[in-house]
């Protein structure tokens, strides 16, 4: 079993790889804020990336933003490049956990996973790319289990709120929960909001390779999960949601894939009753629908061709109506933004057999928090790491490639998130 404690040979609890990236810089700040929550109140950490000068600059900026000048002298800098395996090996040998912030993961993620498994470092990423996440499970599950290494993907806004939200809803339900639908809404302040174009690039590459994802899934040879209770009804491509009182569309991110993998693990490994899941996102009123339809048609047309993908990547603001940008949001935009996940579940009350008619009870829960991409994501990622360090006995019994729900179902991660502004509640 790979260790969860530091040693003379492995001096850092956490190494943030890709610390100079747009998301990585905010992960650096979040680790600095929460260092006192590490083992015995002392988190030992370092930053890693291709350029020492840029890493020094990130620490300087974090020190200034947080009023912690000591960061520049106390936090170590490791030079590592995803294209240089030896440098990744050196980095991984020094870390208990690597926080991998280098995306798009389908392009740059596997060398990091490989280096972590081979060198005994656990790995947490914030990928929202199902093809990458599921291919890592297919290719590294056995190797990670053999080494006792935990590889935990999708540990940011994709997909901790959704995955842990379903588990929270199940745990709060008095009986057998059989199905959950989630509805995501986001709000921004007077200056609006946007997402850095790294996420846009991942989406473009993901849709372009959708056929490969289908063929990948066939390689697992999975049997269908049993349906408990009434089969969940799939909504249309665009519909008015009475639940959130606005138009909604199916959520196109990794949440459905991640939640299904978690439910499969809980059913097959822990013999728990699987929960069906449907994920949707609110898009607002009629004017937003026209924008969505127009942008969607352009996206679907251009993403099919190489020249079209190049145009999409070159002009993210134009093709997304400003929703994605090369600069990313300002700190003011992030401060004024927030998200809400509303979960609507149904099931059978205690003592009632799940074969006796339709589900007879409902539950509504809420997961809400600050701006999703660069405030909530660093919080989720860092708390996942701190939970692993402090609660290793509550993780799955063997190493492997896991979802957040599979990894943290038996830990206090939800309580930790509640204390840091990602709040879970029953309505």
pLDDT of 3 above 90: no
pLDDT of 167 above 80: yes
Q: What per-residue confidence (pLDDT) applies to 352?
A: 84
Q: Could you give the CA distance from residue 242 to residue 186 in angstroms, rounded to a whole number?
A: 17
Q: Could you give the CA distance from residue 202 to residue 216 in angstroms, rounded to a whole number?
A: 18
What integer is the mean pLDDT of 185-212?
86
Q: Which residues contact 131 (CB under 8 A, 6 or more apart)?
A: 106, 206, 209, 212, 213, 216
- When pLDDT is cut at 50, 70 and 90, the band that residue 242 belongs to is very high
pLDDT of 146 above 90: yes
Q: Both tokens of residue 159?
A: 């997909």
> Are the CB atoms for 406 and 154 separated by under 8 Å?
no
Q: What per-residue confidence (pLDDT) applies to 6?
A: 85
Q: What per-residue confidence (pLDDT) applies to 201?
A: 87
Q: Which residue has the higher pLDDT, 18 or 205?
A: 18
Q: Where are the domains of the chain?
A: 12-156+374-411, 160-369
- When pLDDT is cut at 50, 70 and 90, the band that residue 260 belongs to is very high
Q: Both tokens of residue 8?
A: 């003379």
pTM above 0.85, yes or no: yes
What integer is the mean pLDDT of 377-393?
98
CATH code for the domain defined by 160-369: 3.30.360
Which CATH superfamily, name and number, covers 12-156+374-411? Answer: NAD(P)-binding Rossmann-like Domain (3.40.50.720)
Task: Please provide the average confidence, as pLDDT, over all residues in the chain.
Answer: 94
pLDDT of 354 above 90: no
């Amino acid at each position: 079993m790979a260790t969860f404690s530091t040693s003379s040979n492995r001096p850092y609890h956490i190494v943030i790889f890709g610390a100079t990236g747009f998301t990585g810089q905010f992960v650096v700040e979040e680790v600095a804020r929460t260092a006192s929550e590490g083992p015995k109140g002392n988190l030992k950490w370092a930053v890693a990336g291709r350029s020492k000068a840029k890493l020094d600059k990130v620490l300087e900026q974090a020190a200034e933003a947080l009023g912690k000048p000591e960061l520049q002298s106390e936090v170590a800098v490791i030079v590592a490049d995803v294209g240089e395996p030896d440098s990744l090996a050196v980095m991984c040998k020094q870390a208990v956990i690597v926080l991998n912030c280098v995306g798009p993961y389908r392009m740059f993620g596997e060398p990091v996973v490989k280096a972590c498994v081979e060198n005994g470092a656990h790995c947490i990423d914030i990928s929202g790319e199902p093809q990458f996440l599921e291919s890592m499970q297919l290719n590294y599950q056995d190797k990670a289990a053999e080494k006792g290494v935990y590889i935990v993907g999708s540990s940011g806004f994709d997909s901790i709120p959704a995955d842990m939200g379903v588990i929270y809803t199940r745990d709060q339900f008095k009986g057998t929960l059989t199905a959950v639908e989630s509805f995501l809404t986001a709000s921004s302040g007077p200056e609006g909001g946007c997402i850095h174009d790294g996420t846009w690039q991942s989406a473009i590459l993901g849709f372009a390779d959708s056929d490969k994802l289908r063929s990948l899934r066939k390689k697992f040879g999975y049997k269908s999960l049993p349906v408990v209770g009434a089969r969940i009804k799939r909504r249309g491509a665009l519909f008015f949601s009475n639940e959130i009182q606005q138009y909604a569309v199916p959520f196109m991110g990794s949440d459905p894939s991640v939640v299904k993998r978690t439910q499969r693990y809980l059913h097959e490994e822990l013999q728990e009753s699987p929960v069906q899941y449907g994920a949707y996102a609110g898009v607002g009123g009629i004017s937003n629908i026209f924008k969505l339809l127009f942008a969607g048609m352009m996206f679907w047309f251009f993403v099919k061709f190489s020249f079209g993908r190049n145009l999409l990547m070159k002009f993210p603001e134009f093709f997304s109506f400003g929703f994605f940008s090369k600069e990313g949001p300002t700190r003011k935009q992030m401060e004024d933004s927030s998200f809400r996940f509303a979960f609507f579940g149904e099931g059978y009350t205690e003592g009632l057999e799940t074969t006796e008619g339709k589900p007879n009870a409902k539950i509504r829960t809420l997961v809400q928090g600050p701006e999703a991409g660069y405030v909530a994501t660093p919080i989720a990622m860092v708390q996942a790491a701190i939970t692993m360090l402090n609660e290793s006995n509550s993780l799955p019994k063997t190493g492997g490639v896991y979802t957040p729900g599979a990894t943290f179902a038996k830990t206090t991660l939800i309580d930790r998130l509640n204390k840091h502004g990602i709040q879970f509640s029953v309505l």
